[in-house]
């Protein structure tokens, strides 16, 4: 597989970023979202869900798929 083929699936941040209002609405509905910091900082993302929606299933999803620290 060439480097071009490996990168073919990638999309830019500008293509997926959402307005803050959209993210807040998703949070109100209990949906997880990824909150990313600046490229010049740690350049990482955190999987976030509001505490009132943090069920055992949601925490298990975070542990299984996101793999980092789970903070409450």
15-59-49 Cα angle (round to 5) = 45
Q: How far apart are CA 26 and CA 53, in angstroms?
A: 12
pTM of the model as a whole:
0.66
Tens-place pLDDT, residues 27-72: 999 999 888 887 778 778 889 999 999 999 999 999 998 888 888 7
Contact 49, 65 (CB under 8 A): no
């Amino acid at each position: 597989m060439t480097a071009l083929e490996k990168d073919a699936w990638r999309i830019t941040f500008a293509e997926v970023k959402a307005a803050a209002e959209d993210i807040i609405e998703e949070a109100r509905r209990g949906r997880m979202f990824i909150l990313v910091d600046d490229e010049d900082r740690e350049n990482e993302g955190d999987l976030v869900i509001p505490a009132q929606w943090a069920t055992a299933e949601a925490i298990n999803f975070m542990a299984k798929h996101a793999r980092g620290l789970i903070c409450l």
